[in-house]
Amino acid sequence: MRVALVQNSPKFGKKEENIHRLFSLIDQEKADVYVLPELSYTGYQFVSKKEVEELSDSLDSKAIRQFKDKAIELGSVIIFGFAERTEEGFYNSSLAVLPDGKTVLYRKSHLFYKEKLYFLPGTTGFSVFTYKDMRIGLAICFDWFFPESFRTLALLGADLIAHCSNLVMPYCQQADFAQALVNRVYIATANRTGTEFREEESLTFTGESVLVSPRGEYLLRGPEEGEAILVCDIDPALARDKKINPYNDVFKERRPAFYTLLGKT
């Protein structure tokens, strides 16, 4: 199973241009699954609800159709972040579009910083779906800071966590080592690069998209700056083996009864 990390540097608000650029990166490498960044074609730093209204997409919009058509054309899965418009408000979401036309939606559970001004906390919970022989779980950026997120996906049976990101802090790419290791899963953190300067505030995104194996090996690492597509073959069987030696199976040996606070809050 070949996984691609797509690292871009979108121009804020230039949806068509950003989608075109993402597709030309995708066209450079053949893969079974492409993981793209969070808010992958709008840019990140919204400064008003009106702007989110203008740049967001409902699931039947033209932009989403373009991604579906691309997945069908390639015969591959594309997982990308976008600003989702719904009747109740906006979500910071990711969508997996499959080559049979099906989709799997995830809405970010843990909103970061000023996202809280514009987006609603996710309502889907963590989603896992199967493609070919691979179980793929969905998470978005700051979800990583809550270890329950990747743990839950691993307990739901994910072999690969597709982690669409717009990281601004320098820690996640290192933290993926521990999260991949203790959960025995592959983690694909697809991150963006570039700086957005909007209404007196500048945010710089840290690039260095990574793919980490269940053994904590860095299989891929993108550049700190600039766009890139990186590919690697992975074996889901490795993520299903939760044994670290003949005596220790790190999932079978969990002690959930001891992990509750038992009234000691």
> What does the binding site for ligand ACM look like in residue numbers (CB under 6 A)?
38, 112, 141-142, 166-168
Active site residue 108: yes
Could you give the angle at the alpha carbon of 71 between the alpha carbons of 239 and 119, nearest 5°? 80
State yes or no: is 141 an active-site residue: yes
* DSSP class of 14: -
Dihedral Cα 178, 141, 209, 3, nearest 10 deg:
90
Distance CA 201, CA 109 (A): 25
State the minimum distance, in angstroms, from the CB of residue 38 to ligand ACM: 6
CB 112 → ligand ACM: shortest distance, Å? Answer: 3
Smallest distance, ligand ACM to C-beta of residue 167, A: 5
Query: From the candidates 38, 51, 115, 208, which is the catalytic residue?
Result: 38
Catalytic residue from among 68, 70, 115, 141: 141
Q: Please state the separation of Cα 262 from the chain's center in Å.
A: 33
Query: By C-beta, is 76 or 166 nearer to ligand ACM?
Result: 166
Locate all alpha helices (DSSP H) within the chain, ordered by sequence: 15-26, 49-55, 62-74, 115-118, 147-155, 172-183, 236-240
88 assigned to active site = no
**Nearest residue (CB) to ligand ACM, 68 versus 192:** 192
Give whichever of 91 and 112 is closer to ligand ACM, judged by the CB atom: 112
List the catalytic residues: 38, 108, 141
